[in-house]
A = this chain, B = another copy of it.
Amino acid sequence: MPERARSAAVTAELPEQAAPPGTAGRILHAGLELFAEKGFSGTSIRDIGARAGINSATLYSHYRSKEHVLAALVLLGHQELHVRLQRALVRAQGGPGSQLAALVRAHVLAHAEYPLLALVANAEMHALGSDAAAPALALREQSWQLLLVVLDEGIRAGEFTATDPLLAAAAIVGMGRQVAHWYGPRQPYTPEQIADTFSGYALAIAGAAQHDRETT
């Protein structure tokens, strides 16, 4: 599995209706591919123009700067994840076990279905100034809280035997985030398979009772 590339993905897909139409959308796609492959600083405005099929100067009719292109992508990625997590939690019927499973499933699915977006949102956010990063950071904090509340509640209710929700959350988030780095079309799994398997791992980490793991 080890490879040099940052991602095993090949197509740079953006969630439907999330990307603007026309040239602005093509710029976003181009930025996504290039930032994922070479990083923000390793990508020039001319690279983006060439990939999007426009002159580099045209970019400034749609975004104020290269940083604004990245900021749009980083925000979009965090929004998509947060919306999915919220929806998963609301739809989960049952106790903390099924809620945790639903959250992790959504988290992993988002990283497997949009690996480049997840990669850029996570690995390139450091290139944004603190103002540009703030909205995405706020969403990340909220997503983090969703997971933490479920873990806390499961421990309080005696359904999870884990004793340290912070470490459990860090482990669960870590294994999910890395999916963006290794999942690609050459892997013999569907995103759903990975999501379901990792949901089980998360329940194991949390120390959910065995019968819960099989019925969620």
Give the interface of A toward B (CB within 8 A): 1-6, 37-42, 123, 125-128, 130, 133, 137, 140-141, 144, 164, 166-179, 182, 189, 194, 197-198, 201, 204-205, 207
How many angstroms from the CA of A211 to the CA of B135 in the assembled complex? 46
Chain B: CB-nearest residue to A171:
B175
Neighbour of A133 across the interface among B4, B37, B176, CB < 8 A: B4
Give Cα A37 to B175, complex, Å.
Answer: 23
This chain's copy number in the assembly: 2
Expressed in whole angstroms, the Cα–Cα distance for A39 and B201 within the complex equals 32
Query: A176 to chain B: which residues have CB within 8 Å?
Result: 174
Can you report 28 residue pairs joining A to B where beta carbons are below 8 Å apart? A3-B137, A4-B125, A4-B130, A4-B133, A5-B126, A6-B126, A37-B126, A38-B126, A39-B40, A39-B126, A40-B42, A41-B42, A123-B123, A164-B197, A167-B194, A167-B197, A167-B198, A170-B179, A171-B175, A171-B201, A172-B175, A175-B175, A175-B178, A177-B178, A178-B178, A201-B205, A204-B205, A205-B205
Residue pair A2, B144 in contact (C-beta under 8 Å): yes
Query: Would you call B2 and A140 a contact (CB within 8 A)?
Result: yes
Ordered nearest first, which 3 A-B pairs have the shortest CB separation? Answer: A174-B178, A41-B41, A41-B42
- Contacting residues, chain B, for A194 (C-beta < 8 A): 167
A127-B42 contact given A2-B140, A137-B2, A140-B2, CB 8 Å threshold: yes
**Chain B hits for A189, CB < 8 A:** 167
**CB neighbours of A4 from chain B (8 A):** 125-126, 128, 130, 133, 137
